[in-house]
Structure 1
Amino acid sequence: FAQLILRREGHEVVTVGNGKDALEVLSRQTFEVVLMDVRMPGRDGVEATKRIRYGEACVLDSEIPIVAMPAHTSIDDRALFRRVGMDCYFSKPMNW
């Protein structure tokens, strides 16, 4: 749904299936923002964000805004997202 909205508004959207692939793409290309699924196979969004923020990944922009996209959020989840360096979050499902 987010992809449809962003494309309709004229944004280029690049999607990947897991955190490892996200880090790989971010090492080759710059973006305005990352919409990071929190639960992905292999390396999840929290781990990928930690690697970006703590310089453990060779990404081009370690300060890129990262938006968490969890299915559910609790106060503990929100605190975790901030602690690892995510800038904000949008819970799924999204309504427009």
Structure 2
Amino acid sequence: MFMESTTFVFLSDCPEGYDTVLGYLAKRHPDLLDLIDKEPEATTRDGFWLMHRCKERGIKRLRVKACPFLQAFGITEVWSYPIGLLKERFSLYN
């Protein structure tokens, strides 16, 4: 399991009330980060679900600078989503 001191590599600077998939998981479900297995595509399904819910509901999503983990793979920006929507997506783990 990832140690709490290493979860910072999954955090992006997001506006208040927003977070990225990896940031949300790092803060609330760090044990799930083990499942990512060093693959940046591991949360693609989550992003797809979140994007469609935003479009369906007219919810704004915001681009933010990617976390250090994703930057190491050449990814510079990612979407951030309202925390309430992230909570809905990952409610199975609450």
Verify same fold: TM over 0.5: no
The structure with the largest helix share of the pair is 2
Q: TM-score, normalised by structure 1?
A: 0.28
More contact order relative to length (CA 8 Å, sep ≥ 6): 2
When normalised by structure 2's length, the TM-score is 0.29
